[in-house]
Amino acid sequence: MDNNLTNVKERILYFANYKGVSYEKFIKEIGMSYASFKGLAKERPINSDALVNILSIYPEINSEWLLIGKGEMIKGNDYEKYVIEPISSRQKGREVLKDIQGIPLYEIEASAGLTVFFDNQNTQVPLDYISVPNAPKCDGALFVRGDSMYPLLKAGDIVCYKTISDIKNILWGEIYILDIDSGDDQFITIKYVQKSDLGDEYIKLVSQNQHHQPKDEPIKNIRALAMVKLSIRYNVIS
C-alpha cells in the first residue's frame, strides 16, 4: 500500500484508480465535484455525506484506511485460512494481476440461474469479500456444489470467476461455470469445456471425477457461463 497518501481525498483517488473508475465519474458518484480534489481545495476536509456514499456504494473498502490511512484498503485481508490454487497455468503471466482486490462472494440457488444473477449482480448483496494476493481480475465468487470436479474441486470450495459475454470467447480446455437449460431440466454446473466431435453447434463438458461421463451439450442450451480463475479451499473449519 502507498504510504504517501496523506489525506482522505488522496486515498479516495487511489481507490477510484484501483476500481478502474475515472476520477470524474467516481467523484460525481459520491456527490462531489472534481474541483474539490484539485489545488488548495484538495487539502480541505471532505463532507460526511460523501464518506457515507463511498461506504454505501463500496462496502468492501476499509473505513479505517479511508479515514486515517491505517490498515489495508480492502476488508478481510486474512490469508491464513485459505489454500489458494490457480486453476490454469496457461493464465499465468497472460493478464494484469491485482495486488489487492475485494472479490464479492455470493450465494446463488440453481433455480435462480446465472443469467438472472449476472444481469443483476450489481444489486446483489455479497456474503463477504475475498482478498487474494496477486489474483487475476474476477467478477465474483461462488461456492462449489456437487462432486463432478472432485478432487480438483470439492463441495464447499469457493471458485472465483470472470463472466463471459460471448460463448465464442471460450478458451478450450479451461474450467467454466455454466447455466444449462435443456428444456426438461435447468441446472448450474462446473466443467472443463472442450470442442465437441459433433460439430460447432455443440461443446463437450468433461468432469474431473472419473465416475462422471463426458457429455456433448448443444450450445443453444447454454444460458450463461463464466470462466473459473482460481479456487479456495478451507482445510480446517472452525
CA separation for the pair 193, 152 (Å, rounded)? 15
Residues 26 and 107 in one domain: no
Residues 109 and 15 in one domain: no
Q: Is residue 107 part of a domain?
A: yes
pTM: 0.58
CATH number for 113: 2.10.109.10
Based on the structure, what is the number of domains in the chain? 2
Contact 113, 221 (CB under 8 A): no
Residue pLDDT, tens place only, 30-71: 999 888 888 888 888 888 888 988 988 888 898 888 988 888
The last residue of a domain, from among 25, 43, 68: 68
- The pLDDT value recorded for residue 82 is 43
Measuring CA to CA, how many Å separate 41 from each of 70, 120, 138? Answer: 23, 37, 35
Residues 57 and 35 in one domain: yes
Residue-number span of the structural domain to which 37 is assigned: 8-68
Minimum mean pLDDT range among 22-26, 170-174, 204-208, 221-225: 22-26
Residues 59 and 94 in one domain: no
